[in-house]
Amino acid sequence: MAVVKVIELLSESANGWEAAAQEAVSEASKTIDNIQSVYVSNMQVIVENDKIVNYRLNVIKHEFDC
């Protein structure tokens, strides 16, 4: 049997979706070892003057072994 804990993070980057996802993983890895996957529940872009300025992700699940 596996035990999985779940956390939620909001991540943002001006450099795209991949950078926003990496930011979420990097932040979580400060206190969690062995992150195996993440689930992105929501994607949003922030627009100013008709230009995308930030990519935002709501990462609701990090799976890791306990």
Range of the domain at 52: 9-64
Would residue 43 count as lying in a domain? yes
> Which pLDDT value is given to residue 32?
83
Average pLDDT over residues 29-54: 92
Would residue 56 count as lying in a domain? yes
Residue 56: CA atoms inside 13 Å, Cβ hemisphere, count? 10
Would residue 40 count as lying in a domain? yes
Domains of the chain: total: 1
Would residue 1 count as lying in a domain? no
CA distance 65 to 46: 34
Q: Which amino acid is at 54?
A: N
**Helix-strand-coil percent breakdown of the chain, rounded to 5?**
20, 55, 30
What's the CATH code of the domain at 54? Answer: 3.30.1660.10
pLDDT band at residue 62 under the 50/70/90 scheme: low
CA distance 63 to 50: 36
